[in-house]
Amino acid sequence: MMIDDVNMPQPEEFEAQPPVELIRQFIGFGEVYDRVSKEPKTVKNIVTVCVASPPTGSRAKLSKRFSKFFQILNIPRSNTETLSKIFNSILGGWIVKTLAAD
């Protein structure tokens, strides 16, 4: 499961973020509740990846209760030269492969 911009929900009066709390409950307990039967359903073998930007502007800081489930990886912004090399390598390989197929 991939969640982009996980820190976008605005915090409420007591700093809770209900959408993030639902995800935290799912990850922590491994269950969701069926709205019709009101019975818990166990979910297994799910890998969750969350993407967040620094907590500035409209993005809130994530709670420790939520972030404890993840390994935090910080990737600094790349300069133009690095991005150019990455995308030229990808596109160059794709172009060579495409031309070889024709």
Give the pLDDT confidence score for residue 98 in this predicted structure.
79
Give the pLDDT confidence score for residue 68 in this predicted structure.
92
Give the pLDDT confidence score for residue 75 in this predicted structure.
82
Model's pTM, two decimal places? Answer: 0.64
Average pLDDT by stretches of 10, the chain with 102 residues: 89 86 90 90 90 85 90 87 90 80 67
The CATH number of 2-75, from 3.40.50.150, 3.40.50.280, 3.40.50.300, 3.30.70.260, is 3.40.50.300
Helix then strand then coil, % of the chain, to nearest 5: 35, 10, 55
Reference 46, options 77, 3, 7, 92; nearest CA is 3
Give the pLDDT confidence score for residue 102 in this predicted structure.
64
Give the pLDDT confidence score for residue 63 in this predicted structure.
86
Give the pLDDT confidence score for residue 80 in this predicted structure.
93
Structural domain boundaries of the chain?
2-75
